[in-house]
Amino acid sequence: TTIIWDAHTGEAKQQFPFHSAPALDVDWQNNTTFASCSTDMCIHVCRLGCDRPVKTFQGHTNEVNAIKWDPSGMLLASCSDDMTLKIWSMKQDTCVHDLQAHSKEIYTIKWSPTGPATSNPNSNIMLASASFDSTVRLWDVERGVCIHTLTKHQEPVYSVAFSPDGKYLASGSFDKCVHIWNTQSGSLVHSYRGTGGIFEVCWNARGDKVGASASDGSTQAGSEVAYPFPFSFMKGTWNSGWKRVSPLDGQRDTSAAREERPALWLEEELGVLRVPFILAARRREMKNRALWPQEAFPKRGGIEEAIRTDNSAPCRLLATSFRSSVITPDGRCTKS
């Protein structure tokens, strides 16, 4: 079941019980339409207020681990334990590319912030895939070909993230390493090694810092690293994100932390300030969270008033596990 939550009240707005097995990932296309994927090998495109899927894509032969809309919202990428990466067209209502190169399960995928409908329109759009075969692949989606295979990891790769300008790609693996790659040449730019497996990597908005979450919960600051990408480990989380809260500018974050409840967080860089309200009671581990869009957070009166406003909202608790959460572009709804 996929559940839509009101981000301001914490109340469940609608449930979508269309999958016949656990749902593994969700991604918003816009403020009203989203896609979900499942171990039932199906992908559903759903719209708020509708009691049935708008579209259903089928073609994978094993569980679908992740789905991501491209910046235009017209293409949907999916990856699966069947070792394939598929590109689905909303306009053509079919699979337009079936990309096969990985030799083991593909765990996650990310689109580059480049191409039409982005702030980097003069650069070609790419898709990155991370696999349990210890490789990361960069794809030219227009031609449907792999342009780079990144092979320095020694264990399964759990996460990839493009820098805001699309020039670099960060990858995190269970080998405890974070690698930074040049997306044009496919060359390794820099590496960091932690003390636990890396489950998520991310960039700050300026593209000059990289963050990651490690399996051992350690926190390490890499201020001594003179390379352009200072590095820090996020403590005790499966997923990490950079954001800054200033007196007149805030952001919220839905987090997935081990042995804690998924919640809406206010953070100053790596430091948690307050938890406005909890969306669900954790009974088991879940593995994803998402950043709230900056414009959705109350700005008038600054941080304290924003916290006070959100603290007045009721909590609604879940008695089940979930793996992924994402926010609508306008910040009004979250989905788990």
Among 174-178, 191-195, 243-247, 277-281, the range of highest mean pLDDT: 174-178
**Is position 21 within any domain?**
no
Report for 3-17, 58-72, 225-239, 251-265: range of highest mean pLDDT:
58-72
> Which of 156-160, 205-209, 247-251 is least confident?
247-251
Q: Which pLDDT score, from 0 to 100, does residue 238 have?
A: 40
Residue 317 pLDDT level (bands cut at 50, 70, 90): very low
Q: What pLDDT score was predicted for residue 240?
A: 43
- Out of 180-194, 219-233, 268-282, 284-298, give the one with best mean pLDDT: 180-194
**Does any domain span residue 26?**
no
Question: Which tokens sit at 150?
Answer: 């990144």
Q: Would residue 112 count as lying in a domain? A: yes
Within-domain flag for 209: yes
> Model pTM?
0.72
In this structure, what CATH number is given to the domain that contains residue 76? Answer: 2.130.10.10
Q: What is the mean pLDDT of the chain?
A: 74
Q: How far apart are CA 255 and CA 287, in angstroms?
A: 9
pLDDT range class, residue 198, cuts 50, 70, 90: confident
Say whether pLDDT at 75 is over 70. yes
**How many structural domains is the chain composed of?**
1
pLDDT at residue number 316: 42
Residue 298 forms part of a structural domain: no
Tell whether the model's pLDDT for residue 239 goes beyond 50.
Answer: no
The predicted structure's pLDDT at residue 38: 95
pLDDT over threshold 80, residue 94: yes
Residue 242 has pLDDT above 80, yes or no: no
Answer whether residue 97 shows pLDDT above 60. yes
Mean pLDDT of 195-216: 82
- pLDDT at residue 205, rounded to an integer: 83
Q: CA-to-CA distance for 294 and 288, rounded, in angstroms?
A: 19
Least confident of 29-33, 141-145, 275-279, 331-335: 275-279
Task: Inform me whether the pLDDT recorded for 226 exceeds 50.
Answer: no
Instruction: Take residue 85 and report the two structure tokens written for it.
Output: 């990466």
Least confident of 35-39, 140-144, 191-195, 284-288: 284-288
SS3 of the chain: CEEEEECCCCCEEEEECCCCCCEEEEEECCCCEEEEEECCCEEEEEECCCCCCCEEEECCCCCEEEEEECCCCCEEEEEECCCEEEEEECCCCEEEEEEECCCCCEEEEEECCCCCCCCCCCCCCEEEEEECCCCEEEEECCCCEEEEEECCCCCCEEEEEECCCCCEEEEEECCCEEEEEECCCCCEEEEEECCCCEEEEEECCCCCCEEEEECCCCCCECCCCCCCCCEEEECCECCCCCCCCECCECCCEECCECCCCCEEEEEECCEEEECCCECCCCCCCCCCCEECCHHHCCCCCHHHHHHHHHHCCCCCCCCCCCCCCEECCCCCEEEC
pLDDT at 73 over 70: yes
Tell me if 320 is assigned to some domain. no
Q: What is the pLDDT of residue 187?
A: 96
| Least-confidence region, from 82-86, 113-117, 209-213, 306-310 | 306-310
- Is residue 125 within 8 A of residue 112, CB to CB? The reply is yes
Mean pLDDT, residues 40-56 taken together: 95
pLDDT of residue 200: 85
Q: Is residue 169 part of a domain?
A: yes
Model pLDDT, residue 217: 60
Of the spans 67-81, 215-229, 248-262, which averages the highest pLDDT? 67-81
The answer to whether residue 17 sits within a structural domain is no
Domain containing residue 74:
59-242
- Summarize the confidence of residues 289-309 as an average pLDDT: 34
